[in-house]
Structure 1
Amino acid sequence: MDIKKLRENKLIVDKVEEALQAAYASNQEFNAVLDEAEPLTFRSLRDPEHEYLVKVSDALYWVERDAYLDELDHWEGQCQVNQHEAATAFIKDSDQQAVFLDLVDAIRFGRIAPFVGAGLSKACGYPMWGEALRKIAQKLDGLGVQDIEPLMAQYDYLQAAQVLHDAAAQQVQHFIKTEFRQRGTITGPVTLLPQLAHGCIVTTNFDTVIEDLFKEKGDSLDGYMYGTQAGNNFVQRLLRGERCILKLHGDAGQANTHVFTQAQYQAAYGEAGGTPIAFQNQLPRALRQIFISHSLLFLGCSLEQDKTLDLFKSVVDEGAFEIPDHFALLNEPATPQERARKEDRLLQLKIRPLWYATPEGADGKPDHSLLDQVLRLAIAVAHKQVVFG
């Protein structure tokens, strides 16, 4: 076709060029790297005094698009390697490659069920369990933080909650409803959950961060169970592989679903006075099913004295099920002895810890950024975006 005739098809040409220009503009960071080189120059034939300047990225894109795309692929690959350099070095230097690669395999094959604790909602403005209980205690007349501190020191949060609930049940319910309401920006490692979870998510949190996140991504969770809530066929949804969420402690806005105090726990799990957990109850039955059919990945959990771990121990001790490997990303303990003690206890529950360092940040608080980096690396390796080795 005579090139001048293209002017007669200006509308079509403009549309094509608009689409191509939009694709070019979407790679601004890469284009800027190419354009660090001197622009190409040539003189006008019509006006020899005039000189044209063409950016390298423009020339490569419009003249040799295959070469442009090859360079883009290489640059993106190198960016991935650079992005994950610190996490890769940490995993290797801490001699945790085996656990990390097994976690990667579980992510790759879609077996992961994230188990989300308060640590992942902290970045979104919600309190940790200890903070929440102490805040409640400060609000009550005739009761103070000192009244629950001995229980807090033993990580006996259920009994501490029971003490507060016995003193002022309505105040506790009001606090949960207001403190864990929707806060706004969702940020931090919790934003990686859609890349980790293809089926079930378990959380001890009252807030709606996870549900809101999936809704934002246009991939709402299909099924749910809040605490002792019944009648929603959660286990059937779970077995069908639907995206669903189990909120072990209930939902902030529904007080009748709360499993927050010792008495509420005993009612939900049927465990009281030394009697074993009643797996005919919906909540422990659902949790057991997830434990034996998925690879849990504990995130934002301390995994200290915990009633959920008691349930897992009863399943392991029963010896009736083939239990898959579970994983936990955990803050490195202060001493080797503490790490060995905790690791031994978790391994007995088929939970393989992957420890990460938490140096002190500029604000004097522990810096958990390595948790985010290790998770991103695991996802990238699972999706074959980078090679770990």
Structure 2
Amino acid sequence: MHPTPVDGQHWYERNGQRFNQLIDRLVDEMVVPFVGAGISFGGGFPTWANHLRQQGRTAGIADQKIEKWLAQGEFEQVIAHIEEVHGRDVFAQEIRDVFGKRGSIQNITLLISELFKDTLITTNYDQLLEQVFDTGADPGVQIINGVTAMEAPDPNKITIIKMHGDIKNPARCILGKAQYDQAYGEAKLDLDRAIPKMLRYYFTNNSLLFVGCSLNNDRTIQVFREVKALAGDYSFPQHFSIEQTPSDIKSLVARNSELARLGITAIWYPKAKHEQVEAILRCIRNELNYRKSAI
């Protein structure tokens, strides 16, 4: 069922209301961005799904099989199969080759650096966020590797939490399924391990803004789902995601409900119009500047 003008007006109104709700949280300085692979794409890096497609082709796995797993959000199944055929060391080396290069700074990354000066979370291995804060002098940036999570955030520095590790130290990156299991739990999710504990903290205490994230049924989403289930009637902060609109109304309603059950409020942009993410961030910056000037 395709959108009608009435449907369009309904979701347009919801977008406006949700945008203002996000601005309110930003004014209160309660928002932490959660930056996904979609942001690195413009800097010269593939999305995680496209990287797995490339690795799958190298391993000789049928495109149809890869696409089925990706459509179901079974990214780890893709990884496990590639490692089985390809070898874990070869899989890891391709990640180093692809994500270890220096990317190009795009306007969207600059906007993120303008909007957020405290804590940023990313599952990306690349160093684009570090680059954008590198002014040539002491940038005052602290990198926390989520795999080890040994350091406490320094309140005098911009903290970038690289949840799955930094490609500069590939031995401490989560690259394959066995490492995902070790980080999140083997037989079942273990919220006492470093990464789930960190995710739980920010999910419980801050409003997260997901930018460039697919938010499929990955380990991060599993942590949030479990945290909400265990919390009962606890009132979590409102979280937000800048989301691509599905192709039909039925899917849009289902996706909206799926995110809402996780406490995530979606701000929608038209399907495949990924440049709209930058436009939304620019509107956020302009609205914040307006509110500050009006005080």
Q: TM-score range by the shorter chain?
A: 0.7 to 0.9
183-192 or 125-134, which moves further after superposition? 183-192
Q: Is the 1:227–1:249 Cα contact (8 Å) retained in structure 2?
A: yes
User: Quick one: distance in 1 between partners of 2:137 and 2:260?
Assistant: 37
| Other structure's SS at 2:171 match | helix
| Displacement after TM superposition at 1:227 (Å) | 4.1
- Cross-structure match for 1:291: 203
User: Quick one: distance in 2 between partners of 1:92 and 1:335?
Assistant: 14
- Cross-structure match for 1:94: 12
- Cross-structure match for 2:153: 237
- Cross-structure match for 1:200: 119
- Cross-structure match for 2:258: 345
TM-score, with normalisation over the residues of structure 1? Answer: 0.67
| Other structure's SS at 2:236 match | coil
| Displacement after TM superposition at 1:217 (Å) | 7.9
| Displacement after TM superposition at 1:349 (Å) | 1.0
Q: Is the 1:91–1:100 Cα contact (8 Å) retained in structure 2?
A: no
Q: Is the 1:295–1:326 Cα contact (8 Å) retained in structure 2?
A: yes
User: Quick one: distance in 1 between partners of 2:9 and 2:125?
Assistant: 33
Percent identity of the aligned residues?
27
User: Quick one: distance in 2 between partners of 1:92 and 1:266?
Assistant: 42
| Other structure's SS at 1:304 match | coil
User: Quick one: distance in 1 between partners of 2:10 and 2:276?
Assistant: 14
CA 354–118 in structure 1, closer or farther in 2 if over 3 Å, else same:
same
User: Quick one: distance in 2 between partners of 1:201 and 1:304?
Assistant: 20
- Cross-structure match for 1:107: 26
Q: Is the 2:184–2:219 Cα contact (8 Å) retained in structure 1?
A: no
User: Quick one: distance in 2 between partners of 1:374 and 1:149?
Assistant: 30
| Displacement after TM superposition at 1:263 (Å) | 2.2
User: Quick one: distance in 2 between partners of 1:114 and 1:219?
Assistant: 23
Q: 1:75-94, aligned counterparts within 5 Å?
A: 94=12
| Other structure's SS at 2:290 match | coil
Higher relative contact order (CA 8 A, sep 6+): 2
The structure whose Rg is larger is: 1
Q: Is the 2:34–2:209 Cα contact (8 Å) retained in structure 1?
A: yes
**C-alpha offsets along residues 105-128 of structure 1, whole Å, 9 cap, x if unaligned?**
122222111111111111111001
Query: Are residue 367 (structure 1) and residue 282 (structure 2) matched?
Result: no
CA 335–144 in structure 1, closer or farther in 2 if over 3 Å, else same:
closer
User: Quick one: distance in 1 between partners of 2:130 and 2:259?
Assistant: 29
- Cross-structure match for 1:361: none
CA 153–315 in structure 1, closer or farther in 2 if over 3 Å, else same:
same
| Other structure's SS at 1:107 match | helix
> Any unmatched runs of 5+ in structure 2?
1-7
User: Quick one: distance in 1 between partners of 2:70 and 2:88?
Assistant: 19
Q: Is the 2:191–2:223 Cα contact (8 Å) retained in structure 1?
A: no
258-267 or 330-339, which moves further after superposition? 258-267
| Displacement after TM superposition at 1:149 (Å) | 3.5
Q: Is the 1:110–1:198 Cα contact (8 Å) retained in structure 2?
A: no
TM-score, with normalisation over the residues of structure 2? Answer: 0.87
| Other structure's SS at 1:329 match | strand
Query: Are residue 258 (structure 1) and residue 173 (structure 2) matched?
Result: yes
Q: Is the 2:34–2:210 Cα contact (8 Å) retained in structure 1?
A: yes
**C-alpha offsets along residues 346-386 of structure 1, whole Å, 9 cap, x if unaligned?**
1111110010124xxxxxxx332222112111121112169
User: Quick one: distance in 1 between partners of 2:174 and 2:148?
Assistant: 10
Query: Are residue 354 (structure 1) and residue 267 (structure 2) matched?
Result: yes
User: Quick one: distance in 1 between partners of 2:176 and 2:148?
Assistant: 16
User: Quick one: distance in 1 between partners of 2:162 and 2:9?
Assistant: 31
**C-alpha offsets along residues 224-254 of structure 1, whole Å, 9 cap, x if unaligned?**
33242243x2xx317x585212222222232
294-303 or 91-100, which moves further after superposition? 91-100
2:83 alignment partner, one of 148, 151, 165? 165
| Other structure's SS at 2:247 match | coil
- Cross-structure match for 1:58: none
- Cross-structure match for 1:68: none
Query: Are residue 376 (structure 1) and residue 289 (structure 2) matched?
Result: no
Aligned CA RMSD, in angstroms, stands at 2.6
User: Quick one: distance in 1 between partners of 2:165 and 2:9?
Assistant: 36
| Displacement after TM superposition at 1:93 (Å) | 8.1
> Any unmatched runs of 5+ in structure 1?
1-89, 359-365
